[in-house]
Amino acid sequence: MSEKKKKRCHGKGSAFERRICNSLSLWVSDYTRKDIFWRAAMSGGRATVSMKHGLALASQAGDISAVDKLGHFLIDLFVIECKHYRDLGWLSCLYGSDRTNIVKFWAKLRIESNEIGKLPMLVGKQNCQADLILLDNAGTKICINNRVEPLFIIPRIEMRAYLMRDVLLLPFEEIRKRNANKKVRRRLYFDHS
């Protein structure tokens, strides 16, 4: 791959992360602010490096971190990863292939989020297609609560895909109130298997 193409690909991912930070910020602030979330240091790499040394930097895990207290609720629950690729392999995944990018990203995210006691949330975009939010069963109970139909479900890897635009229409304050009790959140997390 040429150097120019590598830079363009890297820039595409960074721009996608910034756009998702803005969208999530608007969502949690009832569409009043764009500055609640921002890209995590080293795109989550700081948490990964620290984990190898036995230190858990849970607030730095994933691609997105909260830079305002309004975002803490979402970041305390989820490790949020963003992936924008030419081909994530949605179709192959639906037909049962476990060798696609999206299956690999999802498996890695589930392991990493479990290690720090959070739930996985993957925001994925394939060229010329809509943004999707991927959640496991517990994440679905917390965020969706049967209010949005999944685009597709892949039970063998516990993945539910939703159109991001549909999820962002759900009032975030209702999600926060419904899951405010830590015991309820803990039960949803540990009973999600």
pLDDT in tens, 32-43: 999 999 999 755
Instruction: Among 8-12, 52-56, 118-122, 144-148, name the one with the lowest average pLDDT.
Output: 52-56
Nearest CA to 77 out of 31, 18, 121, 134 is that of 121
Burial bucket for residue 68 (CB in 10 Å: 0-12, 13-18, 19+): middle
Predicted TM-score (pTM) of the model is 0.84
What percent of the chain has a predicted confidence (pLDDT) above 70? 78
Q: Please check the confidence at residue 64 and state whether its pLDDT lies above 70.
A: yes
Distance separating alpha carbons of residues 47 and 41, to the nearest angstrom: 8
Q: Which residues are within 8 A (CB) of 108 and not within 5 positions of it... i.e. 6 or more apart?
A: none
Parent domain of 184: 3-190
pLDDT of residue 85: 93
User: Please, which pLDDT band fits residue 104 given cuts at 50, 70 and 90?
Assistant: very high
- Total domains present in the chain: 1
Average pLDDT over residues 119-129: 95
